């Protein structure tokens, strides 16, 4: 079974548990701990404390950026990716709009915002010069937890909206 199929199966089990109203193994205590971990990750990103944020990830963390196809591994890989994300928008912030946690799985709808003040790397290479525009994009982020730390993150986002705000034409 591929990683995508395995994750799809786990996501299906997660959704089934939500609809059935089951607490699952670990119950509310795990869910509260996982919620605290995820909220701390976003807050530490907002504070630009990537070192502290990376301690919330397992050593074998896997992060999948679905639109770009990029996969990062481990806390160091996550930290490097997030540092790169902050370059074109040093004031980048994330805000959770909605959050559902069931057992060791979470789904977060997130607003990502920042001011485009440095070159923005483009898919396939190249850069788009700074525009000074305020950028606002939505993402849906899926997380798996292990022992209160984040073991996997899968990110889906609307790059077309961001591209339009950057002034890119397709």
CATH value at residue 141: 3.10.450.50
Q: How many domains would you assign to the chain?
A: 1
Instruction: Answer yes or no: is 13 within a domain.
Output: no
**Overall pTM > 0.75:** yes
CB 90 within 8 Å of CB 84: no
Is residue 155 included in any domain, yes or no? yes
3 within a domain of the structure (yes/no)? no
pLDDT at residue 20, rounded to an integer: 44
**In this predicted structure, what is the pLDDT of residue 153?**
98
pLDDT for residue 121: 86
Asked whether residue 28 is domain-assigned, the answer is yes
Interval 15-30: pLDDT, tens: 655 544 444 454 568 9
- The predicted pLDDT at position 124 comes to 77
3 state DSSP class of 37: helix
The three-state secondary structure class of 49 is coil
Q: Is residue 76 part of a domain?
A: yes
Q: Which residues of the chain have pLDDT under 50?
A: 19-24, 26
Length of the chain in terms of residues written: 170
Q: Is 17 helix (H, G, I), strand (E, B) or coil?
A: helix
Q: Answer whether 130's CB lies under 8 Å from 88's CB.
A: yes
The pLDDT score that the predictor gives to residue 101 is 96
Expressed as residue numbers, the domain containing 106 is 21-166
148: in domain: yes
């Amino acid at each position: 079974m591929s990683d995508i199929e395995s994750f799809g199966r786990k996501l299906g089990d997660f959704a089934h548990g939500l609809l059935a109203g089951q607490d699952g193994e670990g119950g509310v205590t795990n869910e509260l701990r996982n919620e605290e971990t995820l909220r701390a990750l976003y807050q530490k990103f907002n504070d630009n404390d990537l070192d502290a944020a990376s301690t919330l990830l397992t050593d074998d963390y896997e992060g999948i950026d679905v639109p770009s196809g990029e996969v990062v591994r481990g806390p160091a890989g996550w930290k490097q990716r997030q540092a790169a994300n902050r370059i074109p928008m040093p004031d980048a912030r994330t805000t959770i709009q909605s959050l559902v946690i069931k057992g060791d799985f979470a789904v977060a709808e997130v607003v990502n915002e920042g001011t485009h003040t440095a070159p923005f790397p483009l898919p396939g290479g190249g850069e788009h010069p700074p525009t000074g525009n305020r950028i606002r994009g939505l993402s849906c982020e899926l997380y798996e937890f292990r022992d209160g730390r984040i073991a996997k993150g899968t990110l889906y986002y609307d790059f077309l909206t961001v591209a339009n705000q950057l002034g890119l034409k397709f």
